[in-house]
Chains A and B, each alone.
Chain A
C-alpha cells in the first residue's frame, strides 16, 4: 500500500481560521454571536408552528407567540384519528425515504465514479445532459408518469399506482440528477494516485471503487444521503398523485391532505403532525454529522 497517502485531503476541520487569530480575546465570541443570529433567523418562524401545534383553537396566529388556548388536543386528536393513520404514514415515509435514499446513493456513487474516474466517449455530454434535464419544469411530467404507471400496474400490480414500490421506482428515476455533479466534484478531489497505485498493485476497478474510493468520499456520501432523505421525506406532489389509498400514503401527503381537509378544520392536527415529522430529519442529520464532518480521517487508507 505504499503510495497511498491522503494526508493532504484528510484534514478537514480547519485549524482556527486566520480571522480568529487576529481578534483579541480568542475570537470565538463573535462566532457565537453570529451563530445565534443565524439561529434566530432560522428558528423564529418555526416557533410559530410549534406554538400553533399546542393551540387547541387550531389556528395559526403570527402576531403573538402564546397559544390562545394552550393544550395538547391537537396531538391527541392526531394520534386518535381513525381516518388519518398518522403512524402508518410515518412508517410508509420511512420505508420510502430509507430505501430510496440508499438506492439513490448507490446509483449516484456508481455513476459519479464512472464520470470522475473512467474515461469514455460521451462523458462530457452525459454530464451536461444530466444538468440540462433538470431544467424541464418537472411538475408537467407528473401526468405522464401517472399514465405510465397506470399501465405498468395493469401488467405488474406490485409496482403500479398506489404502491410504495412503484413510488420508490419513480424516485429512483431522479437518482441521475444533479447530485451526480456533487458526487463527481468530490470524487475528483480524491487523489488519483490512490487508484493508480492500487491498480498497479493489481486491484480491479470494482475493488478500487468499493474498498478505496467509496471510503474516501464518505463526507459527500453523507451529504447526498442527507439531501436525498430530506427531499424524499418532504416530497408530496408526486406522492399525492401516486398514493390514493390512505394506508399507502406518506407523511407528507397525509399531512398535506389533512391541512386541506374541510377548509381549515384540521389545521391543528396538521401542524402538530408537521412538527413531529420534522424530528426524523434532525435525527438523520445528527446521526450523519460525524460522517459529514469527520469522514475523511476514518476513511483514509493508511
Chain B
C-alpha cells in the first residue's frame, strides 16, 4: 500500500539536480502506478463487501466505521499528502482493531461481575432457573409420544398436537387447549403403544419435526398441575416447574420447600438469609466494586509488597541475565575466525525452538530434589522446588535458559550495525576487550536494543505462563495456599480472583489494570533513563 511512487521532489529540487542524478527524474514506471491503484481498489473492494454484509446484518454503527476506514484509505493513498500515514495506516488499523479494542473491552469488564455464574442476563438466569427446576409431577405417568398436526393443515405451520399413549394403553391428543381422549378405533399404534397414525391428524416425520423444533420448544399441553412436555421425540411426561418467578414481587418461590428467593448481588438469595443462593446468577455492572475489592482484600494487602518486590526482581534479573548472556554469545560468535559458527548458532537457538510447555516441564523435573538431574549430577541435596529462595533461583535459571536465545538473535542482528572500525579504534586506543565491550559496544547496542529490554521486562513482569507451567507459583510457605514464593502479581491475582466458588473475571481485570499502571510507570521511568528517548527526538 505504500506504493506511493510519485516524485514530488522533482520540481522543488530540480535545480539542484546534477546531470548524473537524472535517472530518478523520470516518472515512476507505469507498473508502479498500476500496482498502487490496484491495491487501493482491492482494499476498497474488500471493505465494500464487508459493508454489504454489515448492512445485511443491520450493524449500522459498524457500517459507518467501515465507510470511515475506506475514506481514510482513499484520502491517505490517493493524494500526495500525509506521507507518514501511508506507512502507518495498515499497522495502525490492525493495532486499533486487534490490540486496543480488546484491551478497552477487557477494562470495561472490570466494572462488571463477569465470571462463572454471571455470564448471562437476569432474564436468561430466571428462565434457566425455571427450566432446570421442571420435575415430573409426583406419581404422574409417562406417555408414548408422536407429533402431529390436524389433518388438512400444513405440516410446517399447522397447530401442533401431541398424540399420547399412557401406560394403560389409553390414547389422547394433546393441544394447547388440553388433553382430549382418542377413540382406540381411530388410532393405529405400534408395539410399544406409540401411536403411528390417527384419524384426523397428520403425523410428522422426523425431519418435519426437526423443522418445527423452535415451535416445539415452546409447546406444552396444559394439565391441572403442570404441563405435558416431550422428552425427545417419542416420550412425554407431566412436569411442573418447582421454582416459580413472580414478576410482580421480583421473587422466586421454590414450591417444594416453600422458600422464597430475592434478587441480591446478582444472585437470588433466600429471603430469610438461610441457605445458599441459587447457582444461576447474572451479569451486571458493579461500578468500582472490583477496584475497591482489589485495594481492600486482606490477602491482597498482606502479600502485595512481597509479591511486588519479587515480581520486579524476577523481571529485572531475567532481562539483565538473558541480555548479558545473549550479548556475550553474540559477540563470541561474531568473530569470523571461529569455525563452525553456523552450527553453533543454530544449535544455540534450540531452547527457543521447542515449545515452552515441554521445556518448562523438563526443567521442573530436573530440579526435583530426589529424582532430578541437577542434584544427582552435582551430588547436592538441594530442595530446589520446596525452598523459597532455591525455587526463585531455579525459576531464574530456567528463564535464563528460555530467554537467552532471543537476546542472542537480537544482539547478533543489532551488532551488524556497529561499525567494525569503532572497535578497532577502541583497540588501537588501548582499550582491553572487557573495556571495549563495556564502554563502546554495549552503549551502542543498548541504543538499538534498549527498548526491547524494556519490552522484555514488561513481558516477564507478566510471565504468567512460565510460572504456571514451572511450579504454579510455589512453594507455599507457612501453611497457606494463597501466596506462593515465586508468584508474580498476575499469577497471584488470578488465583485470588478466579479461585473461588464464583470466579470473578471482573476482579482479575481490575487487578490487571493496576498492574498495568505499575509496570507502565516503572517502564516509563526506565525508558527515560536510557538514551533511547533522546534518540527519538
Contact = CB atoms under 8 A, between A and B. Distances in A.
Which size class do A's interface residues fall under? 35 or more
Given A63-B373, A107-B90, A48 B332 contact: no
Nearest to A34: B332
Interface stretch (B272-280, B383-391, B445-453): B445-453
Contacts, number: 385
Contacts of A8: 419, 421
A63 B450 CA distance: 40
A285 B347 CA distance: 10
A19 B432 contact: yes
Given A200-B9, A206-B5, A234 B448 contact: no
B345 A289 contact: yes
A94 interface: no
Contact of A42 (B14, B102, B351, B533): B351
Given A137-B516, A201-B21, A132 B333 contact: no
B87 interface: yes
A63 B372 contact: yes
Nearest to A112: B87
B362 A62 contact: yes
A133 interface: yes
Interface in A186-220: 186, 188-189, 198-207, 209-210, 219-220
A62 B350 contact: no
Interface residues of B, number: 140
Contacts of B450: 185
B490 interface: yes
Contact of A133 (B87, B100, B505): B100
A207 B23 CA distance: 12
A293 B416 contact: yes
Nearest to A170: B98
B414 interface: yes
Contact of B9 (A135, A155, A204): A204
B349 A111 contact: no
**Chain A interface main SS type:** helix
A113 B99 contact: no
A221 to B, nearest CB: 9
B452 A181 contact: yes
A175 interface: yes
Given A48-B362, A118-B87, A186-B414, A42 B350 contact: yes
A186 B98 CA distance: 26
Contacts of A111: 87-88, 91-92
A296 B461 contact: no
A102 interface: no
B37 to A, nearest CB: 14
A28 B337 contact: yes
Contacts of B372: 62-63
Contacts of A39: 344, 347-348
Interface string B352-380: 11111111011101101001110010000
B484 to A, nearest CB: 17
A156 interface: yes
Nearest to B342: A289
Interface of A: 1-2, 8-9, 11-22, 26, 28, 31-32, 34-35, 38-39, 41-46, 48-49, 60-63, 107-108, 110-111, 113-114, 118, 120, 123-124, 126-128, 131-145, 147-148, 154-156, 169-170, 172-178, 181-182, 185-186, 188-189, 198-207, 209-210, 219-220, 222-224, 226-227, 230, 234, 236-237, 252, 255-256, 259, 270-271, 274-275, 277-278, 281-282, 285-286, 289, 292-293, 295-296
Given A39-B344, A206-B3, A223-B413, 18 more contacts: A8-B421, A15-B420, A18-B431, A124-B533, A126-B88, A134-B458, A136-B516, A137-B490, A138-B462, A155-B53, A169-B94, A173-B95, A186-B417, A200-B9, A201-B22, A202-B13, A207-B5, A281-B349
